[in-house]
Amino acid sequence: MTTITNTPETLRAAMVDQIKAAGHATTPAVEQALRTVPRHAFVPEATLEDAYADIAVITKRATDGSALSCASVPTIVAMMLDQLQVQPGHRILEIGAGTGYNAALLTHLTGPTGKVTTVDIDPEVTDGARRALDATGNQQVHVITRDGALAAPENAPYDRIIFTVGAWDLPPALWEQLALNGRLVVPLRWRGQTRSVAFNRSDDALVSDSMQLCGFVPMIGQEGERTGTIDPNGLVSLYWDADQTIDPSQLTGVLDQPKETVWSDVLVGPQEPFDGIWLRLTAQDNRVCRLATDHAAIDTDLCTPAIPSRSPALVEDASLAYLAIRKIAAGRHELGAVGHGPHGKDLARRLCDEIEVWNQDREAQPLVRASCARPAGENGQDLNVQLIEKTESRLLARMP
């Protein structure tokens, strides 16, 4: 009898085939890097199967169990490398060393004439990355223990900068160290959602040309997102940005008020994403935020959002509305909104209006322009532009 074992090579090949089937690793260079670099060598405590599964491998946790560092989901890694558009000879900075796996992929992409620098605030993480990189023949990667917000001026300027941690803000060091016409890829959080955004450097601004849904361990030291519960039992929470005038105390008990439900006639199938509605809203309405609900609130019909852990909501004073979904037929669901409070129905209608516009072009994405200072002549008062104020940067978002 012949026993067939899953070797690292066969598992890695299957992983890349799955990534390709998902629509990522779109260039021969990225595909070859993924087929070459041994991911299992960077997560030695994981089984071979887990090392090559399409999952994040957690390598360090906080005392409360939350992830502090990990090897990211392979499809997300490939997606972001596609966005980064690395060329041989590039100088690259990575913020968030993780296991060192992504730095090894970047080294393969830049070739012998390139240079990769990776930075992380946690010495335990950088020590682990250094060991794995050395063990896999990537001694040329420069590993630095430092607050990622400071980046690495000693090896600047960079043709490419990539964040492998979630960022709420864009630190000034990016403008100082990213070369003109350089490219930045960052999992950026605004209005409660996170997107891997690819920016091109143009003079004093960064202009987006690609956005993909993602989730990452948050960067330490960026505290711009606020959160609060809106029911006595703490089952329903809101997440909003510091520049928004949302006061959860005004919403206490709002979910006990009558529901105002509005349906859009827009249908989606089980595999059809609808996160683009939220993305559009961030460029159209400064009242949008994230709503998260415990399953106990759903079981009692207190709050029934489309996705319990993360659904867009609109908040105005003591009223709110959130995205909802209902089954219409086998494999078909209708999108709508549920409102509560004095303006709840109006907010629900507003959400449904955006659902209907999204349905006309589901692939449309906003253009985001990021800068260190408010751009001259643009004050965010244009109804077609949303100004999102961060601590050290500003975003202007508009639909094309």
Q: List residues with catalytic annotation.
A: 66
Q: Which two tokens stand for residue 133?
A: 């990189």
Q: What is the distance between the alpha carbons of residues 323 and 279, in angstroms, rounded to a whole number?
A: 13
Q: Is the Cβ–Cβ distance between 315 and 238 less than 8 Å?
A: yes
Q: Which is it for the CA torsion 273, 289, 148, 41, positive or negative?
A: negative
Residue 161 CB neighbour total at 10 angstroms:
28
Give the 3-state secondary structure percentages of the chain, helix then strand then coil, rounded to 5. Answer: 30, 35, 40
Q: What is the distance between the alpha carbons of residues 392 and 157, in angstroms, rounded to a whole number?
A: 20
Q: Are strands 367-371 and 386-389 parallel, antiparallel or unpaired?
A: unpaired
Question: What does each C-alpha distance from 299 to 230, 235, 266, 348 come to in angstroms?
Answer: 17, 11, 25, 22
Q: Which two tokens stand for residue 129?
A: 């990355």
Q: Is the Cβ–Cβ distance between 293 and 308 less than 8 Å?
A: yes
